[in-house]
A and B are shown apart, each in its own frame.
Chain A
């Protein structure tokens, strides 16, 4: 196991984060504490989240491999145990499944400096897609994707378009959906209304 970064001092010990009770995947009878989690990539992660494992920023690329071995076992190690993303406190509602995410130019230029999942997410988001698609395509846990997307958004590497719930009652949107769906051909290639009697 790679050694923990010597981030003593004002940041507190990173080990303190490793035993926080937030991670739902850690079993009560673990034989030993898990290795320290990878640090969030966002050097400018919000100060308000009070996460004791906030990175010192510059150490990111060296630290990340230490958490890699635990990937298959505990999804929330990828998020340092947090279950709420960088841009939203735990009191905010989670990002809707259909939230669209797109890599920003900043994110794409920083691609080489990102590690593992973050890199994969930013790279995949060259094409706009929903959080649900992202999670499924990258085979990541949906809530993990929510958290990391929040971090990447805080770092301005990912643009996050949160759909408004009021859209569902928007008459013009509903009309557009209806018109769009009517034009979808059936399995014989016929749009609605052209079915044989």
Chain B
């Protein structure tokens, strides 16, 4: 790990402490090895980047993350509070004030200064609003499709299109064979020609990597415009 004799790491805004405190924490504090007993050089964190793995329930999002993540996929909980008021039917549970939703994620350290996080969206459509949290600052998205249940992915496709997030559609080939022609799938999904459609196997690391690369190439092409 890289220790930190550094100015502000690239790509970061160091959150400033409120005025009521003394000086804000700057990366200079990173090298501070003052009189504290436990003082140790503070490590410089890698630049975090993220991609979003979306799709319907059970299409292989977690499998995809697990295939390429360097850690066992972790699950974190986030709650729906007032946001759910108009979404959840509270008729039968009037005292219910929160719904908890879990999302899986993994990460890959690409080099000591760069770490890619992969967040799987919560599967249910009605948790879609949480995606705002997920896609803010995301490099791109991969929508995973199971051709037996195409309509499961419409919410994700709509959302990425609306947010203008670069995304590709990955058709998960569960059993090594595809029952449909890719053109048929594209027609059924009604996505524009500019959206890449790839076949991949969520269980194969190389296959997942290549699908993610398709998304990233698209994002790069867009950024270069």
User: Residues of A at under 8 Å CB distance from B?
Assistant: 24-29, 44-48, 75, 83, 86-88, 93-106, 108-111, 126-130, 132-133, 135-137, 141-143, 153-156, 158-165, 167-171, 173-178, 180-188, 190, 192, 195
Contact = CB atoms under 8 A, between A and B. Distances in A.
Contacts of B36: 105-106, 108-110
B193 interface: no
B38 A108 contact: yes
Given A87-B15, A87-B18, A98-B48, A177 B139 contact: yes
Contacts of A190: 206
B63 interface: no
A142 B222 CA distance: 32
Contacts of A143: 78-79
B49 A153 contact: no
Contacts, number: 253
Interface residues of B, number: 82
Interface SS of chain B: mixed
A32 B213 CA distance: 55
Interface in B167-220: 204-207, 209-210, 212-213, 216-217, 219-220
A108 B17 contact: no
A185 B108 CA distance: 12
B105 interface: yes
Given A156-B25, A181-B110, A184-B108, A192 B213 contact: yes
B209 A177 contact: no
B129 interface: no
B77 A176 contact: no
Given A28-B95, A162-B14, 12 more contacts: A46-B20, A48-B18, A83-B81, A105-B29, A108-B39, A128-B45, A154-B17, A159-B27, A174-B216, A180-B111, A181-B212, A195-B206
Contacts of A46: 18-21
A175 B74 contact: no
Given A109-B36, A143-B78, A177-B49, A160 B11 contact: no
A152 B209 CA distance: 37
Interface in B133-177: 133-134, 136-140
Interface in B102-122: 105, 107-108, 110-111, 114, 116-117, 119
B82 interface: yes
Nearest to A176: B114
B198 to A, nearest CB: 14
B43 to A, nearest CB: 5
B18 A186 contact: no
Contact of A109 (B14, B20, B38, B43): B38
A127 B22 CA distance: 25
B7 interface: no
B137 A24 contact: no
Given A171-B223, A176-B110, A47 B44 contact: no
A34 B129 CA distance: 31
Given A44-B20, A168-B49, A192-B209, A136 B75 contact: yes
